[in-house]
Amino acid sequence: MNAREFVSQFDHLIKKGRTLRPRKIPKRTRPWTPSKASKALIFSPHPDDECIVGGLALRLLREAKWNVVNVAVTLGSKKDRQPARRRELQNSCASLGFDLMVPREQGLEQITLKSCRQNRARWKSAVKIIAGILAGQRPHVIFVPHEHDGHPVHVGTHFLVMAALKMLPAGFTCHVVETEFWGPMTDPNLLVELSVADVADQVAALTCHTGEVRRNPYHARLPAWMVDNVRRGAELVGGQGGASPDFAFGTIYRLRKWSRSRLTEVRRGQRFLPCRANAGKLFE
pLDDT at 27: 60
pLDDT at 98: 96
Are 73 and 151 a contacting pair, CB within 8 Å? no
As a whole number, the mean pLDDT across the chain is 93
β-pair partners for 249: 194
Query: Is residue 216 predicted with pLDDT exceeding 60?
Result: yes
Residue 248, Ramachandran bin (φ over 0: left; ψ between -120 and 50: alpha; else beta): alpha
CA neighbours closer than 13 Å in the CB half-sphere of residue 129: 22
Domain 38-283: CATH superfamily, name plus number: LmbE-like (3.40.50.10320)
Which residue, 165, 138, 137, 175, is CA-closest to 280?
175
Query: Is residue 30 predicted with pLDDT exceeding 70?
Result: no
DSSP 103-147: TTTTB-S--SHHHHHH-HHHHHHHHHHHHHHHHHH--SEEEEE-T
**Could you state, in order of their start, the residue ranges of all structural domains in the chain?**
38-283
Least trusted range by pLDDT, from 42-46, 107-111, 205-209, 242-246: 242-246
pLDDT single digits (tens) 110-136: 999 998 899 999 999 999 999 999 999
Which residue, 94, 73, 282, 239, is CA-closest to 158?
73
pLDDT at 28: 56
Give the global pTM.
0.94
12 Cβ contact partners less than 8 Å away, ≥ 6 residues apart? none
Query: Is residue 32 predicted with pLDDT exceeding 90?
Result: no
**Stretch 219-238: mean pLDDT:** 95
DSSP 4-58: HHHHHHHHHHHHHHTT--PPPPPS--SPP--TT--EEEEEESSTTHHHHSTHHHH
pLDDT single digits (tens) 76-120: 888 889 999 999 999 999 999 999 999 988 899 999 999 889 999
State the Cα angle at 37 between 63 and 206, rounded to 5°: 55
Confidence bin at 277 (pLDDT 50/70/90)? very high
Q: Which helix (H) or strand (E) holds 156?
A: helix 152-167
Rounded to whole angstroms, the Cα distance separating 24 from 47 reads 19
Rounded to whole angstroms, the Cα distance separating 79 from 85 reads 10
Rounded to whole angstroms, the Cα distance separating 128 from 133 reads 9
